[in-house]
Structure 1
Amino acid sequence: MSSSALPATASPAPLSLRQVLLCSALIVTVSMGIRHGFGLWLQPVTMERGWTRETFAFAMALQNLAWGLAGPFAGMLADRWGATRVLQAGGLLYAAGLAWMATAATGLGFAASAGVLIGVAQAGCTYAVVYGVIGRNAPAERRSWAMGVAAAAGSFGQFLMVPVENWLIGHLGWQPSLFALALLALAILPLSLWLREPKTAAAHGGMHAQGIGAALREAFGYRSFLLITAGYFVCGFQVVFIGVHMPSYLKDHGQAPEVATAALALIGLFNVFGTYAAGVLGQRIAKRHLLAAIYLLRSVVIIVFLAAPLTPWSVYLFSAVMGLLWLSTVPPTNAVIAQIFGVRHLSMLGGFVFLSHQIGSFLGVWLGGVLYDRSGSYDIVWWISIALGVFAALVNLPVREGAIARPPALGQPA
């Protein structure tokens, strides 16, 4: 629906920013917190089912790919019909996918549940959808900060949920634990009701009358959008490889299971500070410079980690520093998209950029399993991650952050 179809007097009141941030934070805490601990299931699932690590890794890779592929469509629906309906569908699919994941007895069933169904669910209840609501209800001068708050909440969910999931597995077993998480995922449904915008808000919001096709042609014909998209591919490759394979990497090198649990929890804890800081810094410095620095620092941190003796304390230090850089790319990436193109199609365009992230995630987690099974080591994938970090730093530097020029009839983005 275009803004031209609205009455001239239409001026929908935005939601309270405090309400938007609180509900978005809780939703992202649940949705991202659950998925962050999936690496804890790798060994119990593969040992009981008699599967290879590649089987588990392929399902996780498929999850990230399905999430990415469904993301633009979830964004389109949220931009057109509002976020609440999409969030509720995502919450229901998440719960169903976790329950099916617990009972899947074949690699195909596991790939369909843990991979496809949960991946589609995540597209409907994570960043792309809630960032659309935030973008429409936060003033432009506070948008990067607001997105940083939501990302920090997702990071807190990672910190909170990893020890909870580890405790559930240890006390209930891996299958009942997944059923418990399925019940938790249903909390997204009532929370989404507080993000219901006025009927005209998503379609109007003061935006121009640009349609979906025109928005896509404009974005994909704009060099800076392609550069941002290429950089986000690297983000997905790095974080999902580490998040899924770190527990097994540490166990292979003689570290106790508690070290891996603490490592994932530390990543989540320090990610809270890193994502919030990125949101604040995105208001003060060029976002392209911030993104380039984050990607380059990731490569440096990985090199130091591989070069140093592997001890519990070296793992904890690596996890803390990497946590600061973990999802710190999310607020500046989405904020710069809104800055260039406006917020009318923010969920959809963010979904397409996120698709690149998820293709990277697919390759990171899948190659981790494949190359480990073939070489008995994760070394090759670590060095691929380092090279990609340098690449992402370089491609973000030429990004032009100013609002894209449009004909006067279309107006300018906020």
Structure 2
Amino acid sequence: MKTSLPAKAVPVGLVLLAAAGTFALTMGARQSMGLFLGTLNSSTGLGLASISLAFAFGQLWWGLTQPVAGLVADRIGTGRVLVLGVLLVAIGTALVPHMHTTAGLIFAIGVLAAGGAGMAGPSVLMAATTRLVPPERRGMATGIVNAGGSFGQFVFAPIAQGVTAAAGWMASLYTLGVITLLALPAAWVLRGHSALPAAAAGAAPAVREKAGVVIRRALADPSYRLLCAGFFVCGFHVAFIATHLPGVVASCGLPPSVGAWSLAVIGLFNIVGSLAMGWAIGFQHGRWRMKSLLSLVYAARAVAVLVFMLLPKTPAVMLGFAAIIGFTYLSTVPPTAGLVARFFGPANMATLFGIVMLAHQLGGFLGAWLGGKAFELTGSYDWMWYADIVLAVGAALIHLPIREQRVAPPTMATVIGE
């Protein structure tokens, strides 16, 4: 079995380019799929709820793949996982135009594209970055990687809209699939797996725990469970907006270009939010508590949605709302990943952050699916916005009891003692 490269073997800038670039390409393709929801509905005649189910399954499967992909990456290496993931994203995206049933769309969007994006997603990329970047630079590094996903959304949404206008929606999906393949070289840069950290002088050596033991120890920690619950809410919010914001724009009588640019603006301002959050959690080794920053982000979302509901729906209001939401959109990822690393260290980071991402995507499944159901039943998205406000307030509150301290792993001495 190959061991991971030491951090000094790969320049930090190259690590960040590879990880952020991969996230940009896979996230950009996924987050642009909402632009095709209406077209798929018209083309297949399946109904908005059925197509939303395919998108919702994709949210769920993206989450389900992350703990497994993280476990594999922790044990046998990041490179192979990333190659397979990128290939699946490209294949699944290109197959979407050829699927005319709900099961077919679930297979292309939900299993292939979303599963591949999960393999080449945050749990594996954040863990590789944590492994290859010095501890004092990890906060900003995770912010940069997260900003990569936002940059992908900012770039892909206008590209998808432009290619659709010029050559049709099928050509647009083919284009997105091909562009995703540009992430393949990053697998070589990020190859390797998490090695056991060296013991401090005079301390008992750490031992490699079995995956089941690691997971049980994490789930027994109340702070880790609260973190998962908060990220569930984040997934509900992000998936609803990514899937249905173009539909929200259409229901307000605004042109499709406003929907595409709204998604792009979310991506642009999330770059700012992600970098700002990465700086905040890394500033002077974390002057601000990560749990407090998370509470602030969720509270800001609740206020933003409430104000949006009270304002008239004009292009300027829609783009302004997208900017505010974008700033908070995925800025939750760096402090959430930072807390997982603080609780349990880097050795099992991909596995344990993958479980947190699974909670995120369970919320994402509900956000994507219920958005379509709510619109079919009521003719509007209002009840989804109400639910989002309540959940965001709840998420802001449940982060406050989190204890930001290391959960000590077993040592060889404790194992022998047992």
TM range (shorter): over 0.9
What is the CA deviation profile of residues 311-348 of structure 1, one whole-angstrom value per residue up to 9, with x for unaligned ones?
A: 11111111111110001000000011001100000001
2:205 corresponds to 1:210: no
Q: 2:237 matched to which residue of 1?
A: 238
CA RMSD of aligned residues (A): 1.9
- Identity fraction in percent: 38
Aligned partner of 2:364 in structure 1 is: 361
Tell me how far 1:354 sits from its aligned partner: 0.3
One-letter identity of the residue aligned with 1:58: L
1:406: how far off? 4.0
CA shift for structure 1 position 385: 0.5
Q: How far apart, CA to CA, are the structure 2 residues paired with 1:250 and 1:407?
A: 53
The residue aligned with 1:18 is: 13
Match for residue 398 of structure 1 among 372, 379, 401? 401
CA shift for structure 1 position 13: 5.2
Equivalent position of 2:203 in the other structure:
none
Equivalent position amino acid for 2:384 in 1: V
The residue that corresponds to 1:269 in the other structure is 268
- SS where residue 41 of structure 2 aligns? helix
Q: Is 1:373–2:371 an aligned residue pair?
A: no
Are 2:89 and 1:89 equivalent residues in the alignment?
no
Q: TM-score, normalised by structure 1?
A: 0.93
Normalized against structure 2, the TM-score is what? 0.93
Picking from 71, 74, 78, the partner of 1:79 is: 74
Between 1:219-228 and 1:154-163, the stretch displaced more is: 154-163
Distance, in Å, in 2 between the alignment partners of 1:408 and 1:92 is: 40
Give 2:184's aligned amino acid: L
Q: How does 1:116-131 map to 2 (within 5 A)?
A: 116-131=111-126
Please tell me whether the aligned partners of residues 72 and 352 of structure 1 are also in contact (alpha carbons under 8 angstroms): yes
> What's the counterpart of residue 338 of structure 1?
341
SS in 2 for 1:55: helix
Equivalent residue, structure 2, for 1:295: 298
User: Which of residues 143, 147, 151 in structure 1 aligns to 2:146?
Assistant: 151
> 1:204/1:408 Cα in 2 relative to 1: closer, same or farther (>3 Å)?
closer
Q: Which runs of 5+ in 1 are unaligned?
A: none
Note the C-alpha offset of 1:51.
2.1
> 1:67: how far off?
0.9
> What code does the residue aligned with 1:267 have?
I
1:285 match: 288
Is 1:327 aligned with 2:330?
A: yes
Paired letter, 2:19: S
CA shift for structure 1 position 119: 1.7
State whether structure 2 residue 151 is matched by structure 1 residue 162: no
Separation in 1, partners of 2:148, 2:160: 18
Q: Distance in 2 between matches of 1:31 and 1:11?
A: 26
Cα offset, 1:189, TM superposition: 1.7
2:6/2:132 contact within 8 Å kept = no
- SS of 1:186's partner is helix
1:162-196: per-residue Cα shift (whole Å, max 9, x none)?
A: 10011111112111221122211222222211212
Maintained 8 Å contact 1:12/1:205: no
1:342-375 deviations in Å (ceiling 9; x for gaps): 0000001010000000000000010000111111
Alpha-carbon shift at residue 109 of structure 1 (Å): 0.6
AA partner of residue 124 (structure 1)? M
Structure 1 match to 2:310 = 307
Aligned to 1:58: 53
Contact 1:98/1:114 (8 A) holds in 2: yes
Q: Work out the CA distance in 2 between the residues paired with 1:158 and 1:317.
A: 17
Q: Which amino acid aligns with 2:303?
A: V
Deviation at 1:16, TM superposition (A): 2.2
SS of match in other structure, 1:248: helix
Structure 1, residues 55-102: CA drift from partner, whole Å, max 9, x if none?
A: 221111000101111110000011111111000000111111112212
Native 8 Å contact 1:247 1:257 kept in 2: yes
Between the aligned partners of 1:13 and 1:191, the Cα distance in structure 2 is 17
Deviations 1:217-258 (A, max 9, x none): 110000000000000000000011011111111111111112
Q: Aligned-pair distance for 1:203?
A: 2.8
Q: Distance in 2 between matches of 1:13 and 1:294?
A: 34
Q: Distance in 1 between matches of 2:7 and 2:313?
A: 57
- CA distance in 2 between partners of 1:265 and 1:184 (Å): 17
Q: Where does 1:122-201 land on structure 2 (aligned, <5 Å)?
A: 122-197=117-192
Matched to 2:195, the amino acid is: A
Counterpart CA distance in 1 for 2:16 and 2:197 is 18
Change (3 A) 1:12 1:314: closer
Offset at residue 206 of structure 1 (A): 3.2
* Count of matched residue positions in the alignment of Structure 1 and Structure 2: 403
What does residue 98 of structure 2 align with?
103
- 1:15 CA drift (Å): 2.7
**Distance in 2 separating the partners of 1:379 and 1:330:** 27
Q: State the shift of 1:205 in Å.
A: 4.4
In 1: Cα distance, 2:48 partner to 2:265 partner: 24
Letter of the 1:288 partner, please give it: K
Deviation at 1:276? 0.6
- Paired residue type of 1:97: G
Distance 1:39 1:17, change over 3 A: same
